[in-house]
Amino acid sequence: MSRPLIGVTVSERSGWRIFPLVNLNLWLAGARGVRWGVDHPHDLTQVDGIVIGGGDDIGPELYGGTLGVSARLDPERDALERGLAAQAADMNMPVLGICRGAQMLNVALGGTLDQNAWQTFGMERKIRTILPKREVCVDAGTLLAEHTGPEPMKVNALHTQAVQDLGDGLQVCARDTAGMIQAVERTRDPFALGVQWHPEHLFYARRQRAIFRALVAAARARREARGQNAAAHADAQGKAFTI
């Protein structure tokens, strides 16, 4: 059976180095990725799931905020990813949001962000590194815990914003030791999980690879269900023709 195809949105500035990492994780999980972006083709009908990747801060006008300390914004990417996240929900398509992607998933579903998260939770707690230096507490009974286990985990931290008010149908599934939201997930189908860290940099960690495996499993299940529905429809048409 061929590998599920996953659309991966990345920054036009840093995508050249981030996409290969995300694609590596998808490949290890049994899928393959295709790079999407403002200047790259994107078509939800051609993929089995999507990853909304990390990058610049999200423009506050998307969630009713005002421009504050955000230094780098990308309005075109904001519009693209917000649309993709909303369409994916309508199409029952699995979504994994990474860092900015987790925040975009929340915003697309009507949530808000804290633009100055480190000031809110204490600048002395700020950690900015791709190394697993930040402890995250996973909520038991969540989708995230089902795939990674409920034990605390060490993750990296590159974000400046954070999820604040939850979007429709989302719940918190992990916080750091300061109480900052670090992961959110949909409470019903389709599969949607957003983590504010960068698991693609932690491909050597079994629990981080499990996040990509969860997305790929959901994408494969969706593709198989669509194939069965198409076969049943074709069979029904064939029977109707012979009658």
Residues catalogued as catalytic: 99, 198, 200
Q: For residue 135, count CB atoms less than 10 angstroms from its CB and return exposed for 0-12, middle for 13-18, buried for 19 or more.
A: middle
Q: Where are the beta strands (DSSP E) in the chain?
A: 5-9, 32-36, 49-52, 95-98, 113-114, 129-138, 153-157, 162-163, 170-176, 181-186, 192-195
With beta carbons less than 8 A apart as the criterion, state whether 172 and 183 touch.
yes
CA distances from 75 to 59, 62, 78, 84 (A): 7, 10, 5, 14
Both tokens of 94, joined, read 């699995």
Kindly state the helix (H) or strand (E) to which residue 227 belongs, with its residue range: helix 206-242
Which residues are 176's β-sheet partners?
Answer: 136
CA distance 29 to 31: 6
CA distance 50 to 96: 6
